[in-house]
Structure formats: C-alpha cells, structure tokens
Amino acid sequence: MREASAENGSSAPRHLISISKYVPYRGIPHAGGQYLVQHFRALERRYGIDLIAPSTPLNRDALTRPSAFGGRVELLAGRGPLRHGRLKLAADLHSVIRGSAATADFTAEFRRDRRLAGILADARLVEFQWSEMGSLSPLLRRLAPRAAQVLVAHDVITQRWRRRALESRSPAVRSAYSAAASRSAVRERRSLEAVDRVLVFSEKDAEIALNLAPGASVEVVPPGLADVVEVDPGVARDADAPPTVLFTGAMNRADNHEGVSWLLHGVWPAVVEAVPSARLVVAGANPPANLVEQAAAMPSVTLTGYVESLEPYYAGADVMAVPLFTGAGVKFKTIDAMLRGIPVVTTSVGAEGLGGPEHYAAVTEDPQRFARAIIDELRRPDADRAARTREWASSRFGFEAFAERLLGVYEEVAA
C-alpha cells in the first residue's frame, strides 16, 4: 500500500528512483540523512528523483519538514504487525535475521502495489541508499528491467557486526553478533555483486567491500560537505569561554554512547585534573538513562539532548573527541570537525578512511594517551596543523568535486 505522497516540484527529463531507509529533509540531524541531502542536491542537476521509503514514524515526520529535493516521496506502509513502522525492535531483529536486509513486509509492497509500476516503468536509474536496501536488487531488476542499479553503501554492515562481536565481553552476546555478521556477509555479498555499481565513501570502505564481494564493481566517491559548512576561521572564539571538548552524535546509537561512556570513565578525570576549567559537551539526541546518570555526577560534563543546530557547539569547541570502537564507514563527525579547523583526538575507528596521522592531534585507543592529547591541545593548540587539515578536508570533501564525481559515475552506469 502506498501510504503517503508529497509533491515538491517538477521532474527533470531523466528519471531516477531512490529506495532509502530514510526521507531526507533540511536540518535532518543524523549524518546519513545529511549526506542524502547533498547527494540529492547533486543528482537533481540532471535527474528527477522519486523516493520510496518505509512508512516509519521518522519518515512520516520528515514529510512535514522542509523538503530536501523536488521530487515525490512514496511511503510504503507494509502489512501485518510491522505495518507503519510499529514494533521497531521486532523489525530490526527481523532485518538482522534476513541478513540485515529490508524487512519482508516492505519488500512485499513492491509486488502488491501495482501503482508503483508506473513510477518504476520509465526509470533510467535505481539507487539503493544503505546496504539493507540493496537486498531489493533482484526484485527491482524484474520491476524496472531497463534501469541500471547503484548501491550507496553508507557502511558495510558485516563489518559493524564483526566489530560488535570482537568488543563484546559476554559469550552469548558475542555469539549473537557473530551470527548476525555471518548472515549479513552472505546477503551483502549477493547485494554488492548484484548491482551495476557500488558507491563507498573511502578507499578503506572499498577494500572492505571488495574483500567481502570480489565480484562487485566498487567506486570511491567521498561525500561532499565543505560548502555546506559555513565557517569563518577568522572569527575569534569567546576569550572568556572555558576550554571545551565536544562530541556529537545520536546518543541512542550504541557506537556513540558506549564511546562517550569510555571517555567519561577512562579519559575525562585526567583531563579535568590537568585543566580544571575544562568542559565536555556531548551534543546529541536521546542519551540513555545510564549515561545521563553518569554525566550528572560530573559537573564539568553537559549532555545537551536534541539540538536544532550543532553550529553553536562547533563554534565553541577547542577539541573534537571521537572515541569510537565499533561501527563502520566514514565518520561524518570527524569530517565536520576538520572542515571547521577543530583539532580531532580519536580512536582508529573514528579516523578510518579519513586522512593520515598528520591530520589528527592523536589517533589512539589508550585512555592515557587520549587524555594527554586533549590536554596538550587545550594548553597549546597546534594552529598550523588545524589550518593544514582544514585545507585538506575542504579540497577532499568539497561539494562541487563531489557532484562532478557522483554525476560522472551515474552517467557512466546509465550509458
């Protein structure tokens, strides 16, 4: 059943179908959605876009927000107990059992809803946003036989599950994550090799994808963010503001709240001892109760919860901390800090696919070294390194270069 539609403008001559987990809108708070806003901005130079996504509370809310593109949005409601995105935990588990694939009720809607046939019939390109949606490739070959297919792999899910398994202390939890990784590996291999082209954001992700699916055609297209970041490096920071360390991210993601918990336990006490006026700001929605309780006992730590814009927090930051141990793919929070000239102290996961050691204040999993790097930057910031890193990031992640690369790949695939 086609549950909702939003018309926002006229279509360009060439027709592209995007099948996505999320509906993007201006101001969307998560990194994947922010990427999709810029992705559509680039594609609309040559394509008219119709977006098909599951009907979830987040996506229904997105239809009430300022639109990020000028095409239609079709939300598929599904049937049964998971209809309209109900029982999210059950839906997530169902997806994992299917190899981290699109849920069965969402998949079945493509077969049931004959009205979709008109949307799909004249598509020149079909893209799948996020690896899970790539599981629909065989079905879309039948429904849109003339369309070339591109999978935009925001990350390789199998790597995410494998890292969770390695980090898990409980044998039962480790076994569950290992099983999820095994199922995902089989499904992702099929999906990556089924489409005409796989887009990844870094050479590291390309290596991971090709190790998993040697027959895949993989292209590296770094995300384009630079001209979205309105930064004036000449604006002086408030001299009276306390030394501030920043972390950003959706705090209901285990990757983020576990990393922040590690930071609070193993790193932050040493920082405050050395720099008593230092403050840690954790900017992100939905922090779990245990993290709220932990932070409440530390007067130098602020959990913001949801914020409309991160810009004031970036403007007040002296150091960006990226303490991540699990997850996969390029970390946009790292890019955002680099583009603003904020020194980054990170673990190797936070730096993955993003430059070399010369672009960071430190890359380490050792809490003492992590703390020392933060202390050093708060006391003696390396302005030259920050400027060089900002220049490198701006050239690497500039929007115009991104748009040119992206459109070149799509034109080649559709030829």
pLDDT band for position 211 (cuts 50, 70, 90): very high
Tell me the residue type at 237: R
On whether both 367 and 244 belong to a single domain, the answer is: yes
Name 316's Cβ contacts closer than 8 Å, sequence gap at least 6: 237, 238, 241, 244, 246, 281
On whether both 181 and 268 belong to a single domain, the answer is: no
Q: What is the largest CA-CA distance in the chain?
A: 65
On whether both 265 and 144 belong to a single domain, the answer is: no
On whether both 272 and 186 belong to a single domain, the answer is: no
Query: What backbone torsions phi and psi does residue 340 show, to the nearest 5 degrees?
Result: -100, 5
C-alpha to C-alpha distances, 221 to 19, 82, 404, nearest whole angstrom: 19, 35, 10
Nearest CA to 366 out of 275, 255, 292, 270 is that of 270
Query: Both ends of the chain: CA-CA distance in Å?
Result: 33
On whether both 75 and 201 belong to a single domain, the answer is: yes
What is the rounded distance in angstroms from the CA atom of residue 359 to the CA atom of residue 365? Answer: 17
Nearest CA to 103 out of 19, 220, 3, 206 is that of 19
Q: Which CATH number characterizes residue 408's domain?
A: 3.40.50.2000
Nearest CA to 188 out of 84, 102, 284, 66 is that of 102
Tens of pLDDT, residue by residue over 303-348, are 988 887 788 899 899 999 999 988 776 788 898 899 889 999 999 9
On whether both 359 and 405 belong to a single domain, the answer is: no
pLDDT band for position 174 (cuts 50, 70, 90): confident
The number of domains in the chain is 2
- Is residue 281 within 8 A of residue 302, CB to CB? The reply is yes
On whether both 250 and 160 belong to a single domain, the answer is: no
In the block, tokens 């130079």 appear at 45
On whether both 381 and 237 belong to a single domain, the answer is: yes
Tell me the residue type at 71: G
- Is residue 385 within 8 A of residue 358, CB to CB? The reply is yes
- Is residue 330 within 8 A of residue 225, CB to CB? The reply is no
pLDDT band for position 215 (cuts 50, 70, 90): very high
Helical (H) or strand (E) element with 312 = helix 311-315
Name 184's Cβ contacts closer than 8 Å, sequence gap at least 6: 96, 99, 100, 157, 158, 161
Burial class (CB in 10 A: 0-12, 13-18, 19+), 287: buried
What local confidence, expressed as pLDDT, does residue 250 receive? Answer: 82
Average pLDDT of every residue of the chain? 87
| More reliable by pLDDT, 285 or 12 | 285
Q: Is the pLDDT of residue 11 over 50?
A: no
Tens of pLDDT, residue by residue over 372-401, are 999 999 999 999 999 999 989 888 888 888
Report the DSSP beta bridge partners of residue 363: 346
Report the DSSP beta bridge partners of residue 400: none
Query: What backbone torsions phi and psi does residue 274 show, to the nearest 5 degrees?
Result: -80, -35
What is the rounded distance in angstroms from the CA atom of residue 275 to the CA atom of residue 278? Answer: 6
On whether both 85 and 210 belong to a single domain, the answer is: yes
What local confidence, expressed as pLDDT, does residue 10 receive? Answer: 45
129-155 core/surface letters (b: 16 or more CB in 10 A; e: else): bbbbbbbbbeebeebbeebbbbbbbbb
C-alpha to C-alpha distances, 273 to 176, 320, 371, 377, nearest whole angstrom: 40, 19, 10, 15
Query: What backbone torsions phi and psi does residue 401 show, to the nearest 5 degrees?
Result: -65, -40
What local confidence, expressed as pLDDT, does residue 251 receive? Answer: 85
**Cα 95 versus chain centre, distance:** 18
On whether both 253 and 268 belong to a single domain, the answer is: yes
pLDDT band for position 119 (cuts 50, 70, 90): confident
What is the rounded distance in angstroms from the CA atom of residue 206 to the CA atom of residue 59? Answer: 29
On whether both 410 and 373 belong to a single domain, the answer is: no
> What percent of the chain is predicted at pLDDT more than 70?
92
Residue 258: HSE in the Cβ half-sphere, 13 Å Cα cutoff: 10
On whether both 310 and 407 belong to a single domain, the answer is: no
Burial class (CB in 10 A: 0-12, 13-18, 19+), 234: exposed
Tell me the residue type at 411: E
Average pLDDT over residues 212-233: 77
The number of beta carbons lying within 10 Å of the beta carbon of residue 127 is 28
Query: What backbone torsions phi and psi does residue 6 show, to the nearest 5 degrees?
Result: -135, 120
What local confidence, expressed as pLDDT, does residue 84 receive? Answer: 67
Q: Is the pLDDT of residue 12 over 50?
A: no
Joined together, the tokens standing for residue 296 give 């409440």
Joined together, the tokens standing for residue 163 give 């890292």
Average pLDDT over residues 193-214: 92
Query: What backbone torsions phi and psi does residue 241 show, to the nearest 5 degrees?
Result: -70, 145
The DSSP code sequence of 170-202 is SHHHHHHHHHHHHHHHHHHHHHHHHSSEEEESS
Tens of pLDDT, residue by residue over 126-137, are 999 999 999 999
pLDDT band for position 353 (cuts 50, 70, 90): confident
pLDDT band for position 73 (cuts 50, 70, 90): very high
Joined together, the tokens standing for residue 23 give 């509906």
Q: Is the pLDDT of residue 95 over 90?
A: no
Which residues span the domain enclosing 351? 228-396
What local confidence, expressed as pLDDT, does residue 228 receive? Answer: 55
Q: Is the pLDDT of residue 158 over 80?
A: yes
